[in-house]
């Protein structure tokens, strides 16, 4: 099958064209197309952490399937905005690599939230967790959080990465990092991002114990999606995500 691929900004220079037709096997996904360009162009890798993808003019993640005749656009960070990373992954999160990607010479601080799977919930011993998401909507809401952070705080780079699937004790379930010229903005933006993630992003957590399993219930997303909450994160309130 053939798909039409569009390139913008620096990607157009890397590929040497604004668009091209690519032949892919039936059943290929966005990830297949990304791998195709990473193999052809070594420089492609440097854009991967901050690259957005649109399929038929709608944002899509790497797992999105492709069909013959689709139009795929690869979008580097927009002019005037520092790179950001928004991702859902079933692979282990690399906190050190993410932290390194946020640091820039103009920044004076990087603030990180690294949510890890703990070995208990109340009096019960946790064996492992399962996370699931309404993935297209979750990614869109995560991008909205990044856009809102940039409008509200004087920050530089942002990364929000959430694991899906089965997680063992000690693994990172959600990683949020914010860099900024000054620490106050980095602290406030990171806390705000976490709070909004727990309120509006459709991700759910199931906890497994020796005697069974439960879905962890939090607020209804619809009840809180339209209102900006205060920056403080309720410490004792159970949530759908994170540890």
Give me the CATH number covering residue 36. Answer: 3.10.20.30
pLDDT reading at 197 higher than 80: yes
- pTM of the predicted model, to two decimals? 0.63
Residues 27 and 89 in one domain: no
Could you tell me the pLDDT band of residue 217, with boundaries at 50, 70 and 90?
low
Considering the domain boundaries, does residue 233 fall inside one? no
Q: Do 217 and 103 belong to one domain?
A: yes
In a domain? residue 230: no
- For residues 99 and 215, state if they share a domain: yes
Between 232 and 150, the higher pLDDT residue:
150
Beta bridge partners of 205: 131, 216
- Asked, for residue 27, whether it belongs to a domain, the answer is yes
pLDDT of residue 112: 98
Residue finishing a domain among 75, 102, 119: 75
Same domain as 91, residue 71: no
Residue 58 lies in a domain: yes
Q: Are residues 69 and 118 in the same domain?
A: no
- Is residue 235 one of the residues assigned to a domain? no
Distance CA 94, CA 98 (A): 6
Residue 161, token pair as written in the block: 């990465």
**Residue 91 pLDDT > 50:** yes
The pLDDT of residue 212: 84
Q: How far apart are CA 94 and CA 238, in angstroms?
A: 26
Look up the CATH number of the domain holding residue 162: 3.90.1170.40
Tokens 């360009």 -> residue = 37
Same domain for 120 and 190: yes
Q: Is the pLDDT of residue 102 over 60?
A: yes
Same domain flag for 127 and 198: yes
pLDDT at 176 over 50: yes
Least trusted range by pLDDT, from 43-47, 63-67, 162-166, 173-177: 43-47
Residue 145 lies in a domain: yes
What pLDDT does 113 receive? 98
Boundary of a domain, candidates 58, 75, 92 = 75
| Structural domains of the chain, count | 2
User: pLDDT tens digit string along 218-236?
Assistant: 554 444 444 444 333 333 3
State the pairing for strand pair 158-163/165-168: unpaired
Does 89 share its domain with 56?
Answer: no
Whether residues 208 and 89 fall in one domain: yes
Whether 109 and 186 share a structural domain: yes
Task: Mean pLDDT check: name the lowest of 106-110, 232-236, 239-243.
Answer: 232-236
Half-sphere exposure of 135 (CA within 13 A, CB side): 15
Q: Does residue 237 form part of some domain?
A: no
Both 116 and 218 in one domain: the answer is yes
pLDDT tens for residues 2-37? 999 998 888 888 899 999 999 999 999 999 999 999
Point out the domain boundary residue: 75, 105, 130: 75
What is the span of the domain harbouring residue 6?
2-75
Q: Is 37 left (phi over 0), alpha (psi -120 to 50) or beta?
A: alpha
In a domain, 239, yes or no: no
What would the DSSP string read from start to end of 60-95?
A: E-TT-B--TT-EEEEEPPPTT---EEEEEESSPP-H
Max mean pLDDT among 131-135, 172-176, 214-218 falls in 172-176
Same domain, 62 and 10: yes
């Amino acid at each position: 099958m053939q798909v039409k691929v569009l390139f913008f900004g620096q990607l157009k220079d890397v590929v040497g064209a604004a668009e091209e037709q690519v032949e892919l096997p039936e059943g290929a996904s966005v990830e297949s197309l990304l791998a195709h360009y990473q193999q052809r162009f070594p420089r492609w890798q440097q854009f991967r952490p901050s690259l957005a993808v649109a399929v038929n003019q709608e944002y899509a993640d790497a797992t999105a399937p492709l069909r013959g005749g689709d139009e795929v656009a690869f979008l580097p960070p927009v002019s005037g905005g520092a790179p950001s990373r928004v991702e859902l992954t079933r692979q282990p999160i690399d906190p050190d690599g993410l932290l390194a990607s946020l640091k820039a010479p103009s920044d004076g601080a990087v603030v990180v939230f690294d949510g890890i799977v703990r070995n208990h919930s109340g009096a019960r011993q946790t064996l492992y967790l399962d996370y699931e998401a309404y993935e297209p909507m979750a990614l869109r809401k995560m991008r909205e959080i990044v856009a809102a952070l940039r409008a509200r705080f004087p920050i530089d780079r942002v990364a929000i990465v959430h694991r899906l699937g089965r997680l063992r004790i000690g693994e990172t379930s959600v990683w949020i990092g914010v860099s900024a010229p000054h620490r106050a903005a980095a602290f406030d933006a990171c806390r705000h991002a976490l709070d909004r993630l727990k309120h509006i992003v459709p991700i759910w957590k199931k906890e497994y114990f020796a005697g069974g399993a439960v879905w962890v219930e939090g607020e209804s997303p619809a009840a809180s999606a339209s209102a900006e909450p205060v920056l403080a994160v309720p410490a004792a309130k159970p949530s759908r995500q994170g540890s």
